[in-house]
Structures are given as structure tokens and as C-alpha cells.
Amino acid sequence: MKALSKPREGVTIYEVAKRAGVSIATVSRALRDSELVTPQTRERVRAAAAELNFTPSRLGRSLAEGRHAANGIVFPDLVGPYYAEVVLGYEQVAAELGRSVLIRATHGRADADAQVLEMAARVDGMVIMGRSVADDVVARIAATGLPLVLLSRDPVSDVDTVRPENDTTARELARHLVGHGYRRFAFLGDPAAAPDVAGRYAGLAAGLKEAGVRVPDPVPCAFELEAGRSAAAGLLACRPRPRVIVCANDELALGALTAAGEAGLRVPQDVAVTGWDDLMAARFAGLTTVRQPMRELGATAARRLHEQIEARPAKRTGRQETLPTELVLRTSCGTHTMG
Amino acid sequence: MKALSKPREGVTIYEVAKRAGVSIATVSRALRDSELVTPQTRERVRAAAAELNFTPSRLGRSLAEGRHAANGIVFPDLVGPYYAEVVLGYEQVAAELGRSVLIRATHGRADADAQVLEMAARVDGMVIMGRSVADDVVARIAATGLPLVLLSRDPVSDVDTVRPENDTTARELARHLVGHGYRRFAFLGDPAAAPDVAGRYAGLAAGLKEAGVRVPDPVPCAFELEAGRSAAAGLLACRPRPRVIVCANDELALGALTAAGEAGLRVPQDVAVTGWDDLMAARFAGLTTVRQPMRELGATAARRLHEQIEARPAKRTGRQETLPTELVLRTSCGTHTMG
DNA sequence: CGTGCCAATGAAAGCGCTTTCAAAGCCTCG
DNA sequence: CGAGGCTTTGAAAGCGCTTTCATTGGCACG
């Protein structure tokens, strides 16, 4: 595996051909294990390639084959463990399917749309997660016929979508909390910021309404622990103080726990807190939350995408897939339910 | 931004040229904002391109330009928040530098070497993290002249390396724990599994030796919470029981905390536990740990790589960079030091 | 020994761009 | 009115592969 000769940059198939004394066609065939070459020739070519430390240019190959053998995933951010898990699930499946993986976090950047279009030109298909790019960009990419899957995002025209279940579990959470006797609710998170938050808030609101409990207005808040802490501190200073703060995700909830501690309040005796996602930290913070199949979301999106890519020319099916979630009860919502 | 005409697949520059009534050279120039085109021509070309929903093929462009405008990062795994943070830092900087990002987790797969070589053919430079691939693969890639940066990995020939500081902080941790009066140490983690673990163990051992405390043999253990839990359970069943379990990372330490709880032991009164990384969960578990500049590690690697790419033809400098780490004291190592 | 076939190989045409070099058109100025 | 210099555009040559199609040579068979 060592480079015997001068490992100059950009060794091409022509140099291998010359060294092996064959044509480039034969080199290509030999290195791709075609049946059309004698074992002896194959060996000679292999040897020449090894001596030159030759790796075929992926560009040349892709251009000739008309495919990238790569797919991409776009997500709003990688801060916090949630997205990382999704990307992990995606990468793992994509790798098994023999595809390279491109990633792009948009971070709400102004040039996000351009970056996503650029990615679209590099891949055989892509997954777009959450509200990372504008609808018209999604539509435009879809219009090119590029295989596309939306993840945790409201459907756009007839593009396939994969999402976690939000409504049912949110109602269940509402019922559970009402069962604790709580009546003064607060909701931390901006339904306009992400489709998932909208779904969670809607489910919670529906559950509360059913139980005859007043539905709180959502308190918008960035998706970071620190933002959750300060927003929760504000809520806890209100009179009457909310009896329970339902947070749109675990990071906010962890921030709320911190704020409660700083305000000298006990959880759950003085104020209950719940989250969403079931991050590792939630377990150690005793946080009641809703477990998301994060890795499975990424993996499922990768599989759907692969199906589309293999099924070219793709007819968009507009398939909607919803993955189940699970209420995880811990101490932060009330002690008598502790498991 | 809508597609006016039939959005057939694979619109090429030739069709745009025909529609705009110019040559492909002019199309290329117009779309790339070259000075060599009249504003009127540019507009005509733009309009034609928009009508056809044309996006230039990245393959054609890269092949012609001789560059991918992409770089890659290879890491052992994405499980757990540590690697995710590193990748995040990497992606962010790479994006700012206008580069696409490819990722690959090797998961200890048998075909990891092939996958990494495949990535090498797709990028203008890459970062290899930890013990994700064999040394000879690294050497082989380096031999092609591809810009390369190693992250948290022992140097290979004269390839640039970026690493967190392990030794000094590990000694500091040792001194601190000895200061608590602890004498029976245990170390959870396999120094052979990752260069960082080796460095941490070595530093700890050096610190203990200086203090005249017996150095424990490391207890190998996979990098997962569950593995940490069961390994720690085994340790806690030993007689005499170790007074403190130093874990190679936070996930193991969180597992150890779980095991202690299950064994009915109080932390830190009966047994102290420390970790490494300062994950979000560590904060809520009260875990004493060593904070790693994870995001900064990724960002730094991205910058070093970019420097190499820009400086082609690259002369390898073999630069070694070490990023500082910080001891974070919480309750799990002993109450009197709580901050 | 000649004919016909099959297996192995080579020549060359793309794949979709960028860029060099040449040509064409238009001004300006003598 | 013609020469020379710009500016703008086009033709064509790659970039490094894969693959089709043609060619070559060897062998079996008549």
C-alpha cells in the first residue's frame, strides 16, 4: 500500500494505461472488475495503478456515469443533540447504501437558499429538514425532478415527508398533566419557528381544551438552553405563577429547570416542567419529556430517498410518513407518577 | 423563482445558450458574473436560465476547474454528543469558507478504509478524526498530496494535527482528587481505543505517581453509557471498593453514576466519579469533568485544512496544535469543592 | 489450409462545464 | 477614409472517466 514511485498529484487513467501498456478502456475495465479483461491483464493494470498510487477521479467517473453517488441533508442547525442524532441515523443508512453524504446546516443564514441549491447540484437526492429553507426553494428543487424528502417539515406540493408524531402524544401529555391537578399552564417555544413546535402546541392546546383547561398563549423563545432559562425566569416571575411549564424541547426545559432552581423553586412541588425529545441530559435531570425516534427519523428519510433515487424516473408520490413518539414520565412533572 | 417551462431533467448549458441565442461560453460568463459580457447579454442569459430552471452541473464545473470546492471529515462515530459538536464546528467554518462538506462515520466498519479513500477522491482536502482508519491509509492519502489534517489522533509522518490538551489537565485532576484524600483509584476506558484516552490515562497516572498514589490499571470499556454502567457495576462490586472512578469520557461517567445509584451508593460520599468532555448532561448530573473545546477543535481543523488547500502546492509542515481544556468541578468528585 | 466465431482490446465519442485564443465589430484618431 | 485598439462574442480544446462500436488475433472446424 505504499507509494513506490513519485506520488505526483493527479495521476490519471492515461498514465496507468501507459505504464501497463494497455488502453484506458482496459484500465477502466480492469479496475472495475469487468469480465471483459483477462486475469493477467487485470493484474498488470492493478500493479501499475498501485505503483502510481492511482485513485480514479470521482468527477470523471460521475460525469461519465451521470450520477454523483452522493446524497445530502440540510438541517436548520446542529446545535444540541437532536439534529445530530437525526444526521447520524441518516449517515448510517446512506453509508450502507453505498452513498456519500453531504451535510449543510443553514443556521438561518441569508445565503441558505443559495447553499441548498448548490448542494442540489452535487447530489442524486436530498433531505431537507425543518424550516431550513424557503418553500419556493423546495418547490424549485422539486421541479428539477431531483429526488427529495422533507423531514419534520410541512408538506410542500407532492414531496414525500417524514415526521414524528406530535399531536397524539401532546394530547396525552396534556391529559397527564391535567391529571396531576394542574390548571395554570405555560408553553415555551415558538410555533412559528418550526413545524414540530406548531404540532406540539396544537396537540397540547387540543388536549387542554378537551379537559376544560385554559389554553396558554405560546411564549416564543430561541431553541437554546440559555434562552429557555431567561424566558422561564420571566414566566416564573409572573403572578399568578404558572403551575407547569410545557417546553417545546428538552433544551428549553433544561433551561427552565435551571431558572426554577435559581428562583428557589422546587420542581415539581412549586412548578412542574416538561420537555420534548428525551435527550441524554433529560434522563439525568429527571425531566418528563416525549421521546422522539431521532435516529429513526434520519434513517427513514434516507431510505425513502434511496427508493426515489432507484425508482427514476421518479414519480412523486407525496407519501406522508409519521413515526411514533412516546411519553416518558420522570419526576419533573409531579412525583406521584415517578417511574 | 417558479419554473415556467417544462422542467425537464438535466438542463444543460447548451440549451440555455440556444434559448438565449448565444454561445455556451457566453452563458458561462454571464452566469458567473464575468466582466466580459454586456449587461444586456447577461440579462438575456439569466432570463433564459431562469425559464429553464437551470442549475449548472457541479460535475462539469469541478472537472473543468480541477477542484471540488468540497472537503470532508471522517470520524469514528457520531453516537453521543462529542463528535456531533466537533462536526458542527467543522461544518460551520467550512460553510463560511464556501466549501461543501462531506461526512463519514466509520463505525469501526471493515470497509472503512475503502470509504475513506472514496471520500478522498471527492474532496480538495479532508480531516481524519481519531482512530477511524488505519495508519497506512492515512499515509497513502497523504502521499497523493491531498491536504490533510488529523484530529485527536497521533501524528502520522508529517501531517498536521489538532488535538485537545490531555496531559496537564489530567494531572490537575489527579492532584485535585488526591487532595480530597482519595487513594483507591479506578480508571474506566481503554487507552488503546483512542489516542485521547491514552493521553488522559497517562496524565492521570503521572499525576498519581507524583503524589505517591497507586496507579490503577485501566478497565477497558466501550464508549457508551450502558457499557460504562455495567463496567462500573463490576468495579463497585470489588472489595475493597474503589473510592473514585475516573472515566475516560462523560458517557462512561454517567453510566457509572447510574451504576452507583443502582448499587445504593451515594456520590460522592461513598464513591466519587469524574468524566471528560463536559456534555450537557454532565451539568445536570453534577458531574466533575474536563471541558473540551469540541466545537473549536472542529473549527480549527477546518481552518488548518483551508490553509493547506489555499497554499497549494502544499508543503506539509507537520504542525502540531493543542487546544486547551479546563477542569470543571461539580459535586460528583467531593462536596467541599462544589462551585 | 481457409473460414467463421468468440474473446480481448483499442479508438473515440461523449458527460457539462471553463477558459484560451481567435475573430468580429465598433470607435477613435490621424 | 483607413489603421489600430478595445470590447464582446464564439469556436474549440480540454478536464478524467465510461462505454459503445470496431478491430484484432486465436482457435475450432470443415
DSSP letters of A64-99?
HHT--SEEEEEES---SHHHHHHHHHHHHHHHHTT-
CB nearest B121 (choices: A57, A145, A251): A57
d(CA B239, CA B236): 8
- What tens-digit pLDDT sequence spans chain B (339 residues)? 322 333 335 799 999 999 999 999 999 999 998 888 999 999 999 999 999 999 999 999 999 999 999 999 999 887 777 888 899 999 999 999 999 999 999 988 888 999 999 999 999 999 999 988 999 999 999 988 899 999 999 888 889 999 999 999 999 999 999 999 999 999 999 999 999 999 999 999 999 999 999 999 999 999 899 999 999 999 999 999 999 999 999 999 999 999 999 999 999 999 999 999 999 999 999 999 999 999 999 999 999 999 999 986 667 788 999 999 999 999 999 876 443
CATH number of the CATH domain containing A81? 3.40.50.2300
CB A284 within 8 A of CB A258: no
Domain-located, residue A98: yes
* Chain B residues inside the 8 Å CB shell of A114: none
> Along chain A (339 residues), what's the average pLDDT of each consecutive run of 10 residues?
39 94 95 90 94 93 95 87 89 95 91 93 95 90 93 90 97 97 97 94 97 97 94 96 97 96 96 95 95 96 95 78 96 71
CB contact set of A231 (below 8 Å; sequence gap of 6+) = A188, A219, A221, A252, A255, A256
Instruction: Please indicate, yes or no, whether residues B77 and B97 belong to a single structural domain of this protein.
Output: yes
Instruction: Please indicate, yes or no, whether residues B224 and B250 belong to a single structural domain of this protein.
Output: yes
d(CA A76, CA A266): 34
CA distances from residue A297 to A131, A292, B20, B332 in whole angstroms, order as listed: 16, 9, 44, 35
Residues near chain C strand, CB within 7 A: A 21-26, 29, 35-38, 40-41, 60, 63-64, 66; B 10-14, 24-25, 28-29, 31-32, 54, 56-57, 59-61, 63-65
pLDDT for A336 equals 61
Instruction: Please indicate, yes or no, whether residues A188 and A269 belong to a single structural domain of this protein.
Output: yes
* Chain A residues inside the 8 Å CB shell of B121: 55-58
Domain-located, residue B246: yes
| Chain B residue closest in CA terms to A295 | B79
- Residue in A8, A78, A118, A287 to test binding to B, most B beta-carbons within 10 Å: A78
pLDDT for B2 equals 29
| Chain A residue closest in CA terms to B224 | A280
Nearest nt (C1') to A32 (CA)? Answer: D18
Domain-located, residue B31: yes
| Chain A residue closest in CA terms to B70 | A102
Nucleotides of D under 7 A from a protein CB: 7-12, 14-20
d(CA A64, CA B102): 21
Q: Is the dihedral of CA B187, B193, B196, B201 positive or negative?
A: positive
Parent domain of A117: 69-163+294-323
CA distances from residue A149 to A142, A298, B76, B176 in whole angstroms, order as listed: 10, 11, 27, 52
Domain-located, residue A1: no
CATH number of the CATH domain containing B21? 1.10.260.40
3-state secondary structure of B242: coil
d(CA A32, CA A26): 10
Instruction: Please indicate, yes or no, whether residues B197 and B240 belong to a single structural domain of this protein.
Output: yes
Instruction: Please indicate, yes or no, whether residues A152 and A82 belong to a single structural domain of this protein.
Output: yes
Nearest nt (C1') to B64 (CA)? Answer: D15
CB nearest A143 (choices: B7, B62, B81): B7
What cell numbers appear for A122 in the block? 452535487
pLDDT for A314 equals 61
Instruction: Please indicate, yes or no, whether residues B332 and B205 belong to a single structural domain of this protein.
Output: yes
Using only C-alpha atoms, chain A has a radius of gyration, in whole angstroms, of: 26
d(CA B195, CA B199): 6
pLDDT for A131 equals 87
Number of domains in chain A: 3
What cell numbers appear for B295 in the block? 466545537
Instruction: Please indicate, yes or no, whether residues B284 and B135 belong to a single structural domain of this protein.
Output: no
Q: Which long-range contacts (CB under 8 A, 24 or more apart) does A335-339 make?
A: A335/A268, A335/A269, A336/A180, A337/A176, A337/A180
Domain-located, residue A319: yes
Instruction: Please indicate, yes or no, whether residues B317 and B261 belong to a single structural domain of this protein.
Output: no
Domain-located, residue B8: no
Q: Which residue has the cell 450537557?
A: B280
Is the CB of B60 less than 8 angstroms away from the CB of A62? no
Conformation bin of residue B308: beta by default, left when phi > 0, alpha when psi is -120 to 50 = alpha
3-state secondary structure of B192: coil
d(CA A296, CA B98): 31
Domain-located, residue A247: yes
Instruction: Please indicate, yes or no, whether residues A50 and A75 belong to a single structural domain of this protein.
Output: no
CB contact set of B136 (below 8 Å; sequence gap of 6+) = A1, A2
Instruction: Please indicate, yes or no, whether residues A49 and A105 belong to a single structural domain of this protein.
Output: no
* Chain A residues inside the 8 Å CB shell of B315: none
Instruction: Please indicate, yes or no, whether residues B193 and B258 belong to a single structural domain of this protein.
Output: yes
Q: Is the dihedral of CA B57, B63, B68, B72 positive or negative?
A: positive
Is the CB of A103 less than 8 angstroms away from the CB of B101? yes
CB A235 within 8 A of CB A252: no
3-state secondary structure of B87: helix
Instruction: Please indicate, yes or no, whether residues B179 and B238 belong to a single structural domain of this protein.
Output: yes
Domain-located, residue A62: no
Distance of CA B222 to the CA centre of its chain: 18
Nearest nt (C1') to A121 (CA)? Answer: C16
Nearest Cα neighbor of A151 from A226, A51, A83, A215 is: A83
Nearest Cα neighbor of B246 from B234, B228, B261, B222 is: B228
Tell me, what DSSP letter sits at residue B224?
S
